[in-house]
Amino acid sequence: MKFCPMCATTQSEVGVKVCELCDYEEKQLEEISEEEFDELMAPYEYERTRDGVRIKAVKNERALRGKVAIPHFVTEIAAGAFANCKFIARLDLPRGLCSIGDNAFANCRDLFDIFIPESVSYIGKGAFADCYDLSVICVAAAAQPDTWDISWLSDCSAKVEWSSTDEV
């Protein structure tokens, strides 16, 4: 199940491009107005990259409560970017995400639901360390890619479901 990055409303269909409640529309990065971009990225410290946007850190943790949908144009999540975020319960990673850095979601103690899309070619060590409520990680890939750090799940007891089609 997917949810909107603007209003966090659960969408009735996976792959929906326009939110049924707030009319947020997934557009190419070049088509997004600066105002809309600033609103989507307000909780984060970020930098634009050649291929999209890299989230470097969370600057407003309180804006990230419950269900959090990372904007669709984000391609990288830096090391420690979401570490210690106490209020994230469900996390929706974008289909174009390529990289999750070391300890990116470490100590997100309320996180219980996540789906890792097949586009993720790198996950760093301890990416989900100390995520005590995380019991299952659904991954679209059939097996762990060689480019993922072998200790990406260190200090996390979550079961990994490979070849999953169950988006959060």
Whether residue 80 is predicted with pLDDT greater than 80 in this model: the reply is: yes
Mean pLDDT calculated for residue range 132-153 = 94
Domain limits, the chain: 29-161
Mean pLDDT calculated for residue range 34-54 = 94
DSSP string, 29-71: GGGS-HHHHHHHHTTEEEEE-SSSEEEEEES-GGG--EEEE--
Comparing 16 with 78, which gets the higher pLDDT?
A: 78
Rounded Cα distance between 82 and 44, Å, is 9
Mean pLDDT calculated for residue range 4-8 = 79
C-alpha distance from residue 100 to each of 14, 97, 126 (Å): 23, 8, 10
Closest CA to 71 of 40, 28, 44: 40
Whether residue 65 is predicted with pLDDT greater than 70 in this model: the reply is: yes
CATH no., domain 29-161: 3.80.10.10
Element (H, E) at 128: none
Query: What pLDDT score was predicted for residue 129?
Result: 96
Comparing 7 with 128, which gets the higher pLDDT?
A: 128
- Per-chain mean pLDDT for the chain: 90
Query: What pLDDT score was predicted for residue 13?
Result: 63
Query: What pLDDT score was predicted for residue 141?
Result: 94
Count Cα atoms within 13 angstroms, Cβ side, for 49.
Answer: 16
Whether residue 71 is predicted with pLDDT greater than 80 in this model: the reply is: yes
Q: Render pLDDT for 82-137 as a digit per residue (tens, 0 to 9).
A: 999 999 999 989 999 999 999 999 999 999 989 999 999 999 999 999 999 999 99
Q: What is the pTM of this model?
A: 0.88
Mean pLDDT calculated for residue range 5-26 = 74
